[in-house]
Amino acid sequence: MARAISFGLFALAFVAMWVEAGILYPHLPARFPAHFDIHGAPDRWDPTTAFNWFLMPAIGTALAFLLAGIAAALPVLFHRWPSIVNIPRKAQFMALPPQGRERVVTEVSVMLALTGAVMLGLFCQILYATAQVAQGARATAPLWPALAAIGVILVIVFIGQFRIGQRITIESAIAYRE
């Protein structure tokens, strides 16, 4: 269930990013900020072309699908080569039966898919802020969304690590009883 929800959130964020990019594009002026300094002030402007504008969501797509691809491939990788992945309490993990390892891997997949969803959400915010600055509605792009996204990703990783450890303990207890 958690895996389906996390991949659903990922898909929603992916679609939202591309829809937002498509909606904002026709309303951009002749040029838009292509880079911002540490204070959110634009320090490079590019001509508004489809290639230039849609490059940002294309980069977001590549990064997000790298995470989602790893998340989706993990069950197969763990099943075929369980020793290749770094995981907390690896010796205890390796001692689990295959079904127990698969349930642990689900926790890792959830963590990666949620991280990808947050990253896509950040790309949505960057697109919106870029359009706002390009249209003159804002002078700078806010920094707080990036900091918030980093914070949320850290929380996802922390909770994910905790859940992985919990799942290993539960699966070890189940395997011991059998």
pLDDT digits (tens), the chain, 178 positions: 777 898 899 899 999 999 999 999 999 999 999 999 999 999 999 999 999 999 999 999 999 889 888 888 887 887 788 777 778 888 888 888 888 888 888 888 889 889 999 999 999 999 999 999 999 999 999 999 999 999 999 999 999 999 999 999 999 888 777 6
**How many CB atoms within 10 Å of residue 7?**
20
Rounded CA separation 57/69 (Å): 17
- Within 8 A by CB and 6+ apart from 136, the residues are none
Compute CA distances 153 → 18, 89, 118, 160, 169, whole Å: 22, 22, 7, 10, 24
Report the pLDDT value the prediction gives residue 178, as an integer from 0 to 100.
Answer: 66
Q: What is the pLDDT of residue 52?
A: 96
Residue 83: predicted pLDDT: 75
Q: What's the DSSP call for residue 94? A: H
Give the span between the Cα atoms of 82 and 14, in whole angstroms.
30
Residue 45 has what pLDDT? Answer: 97
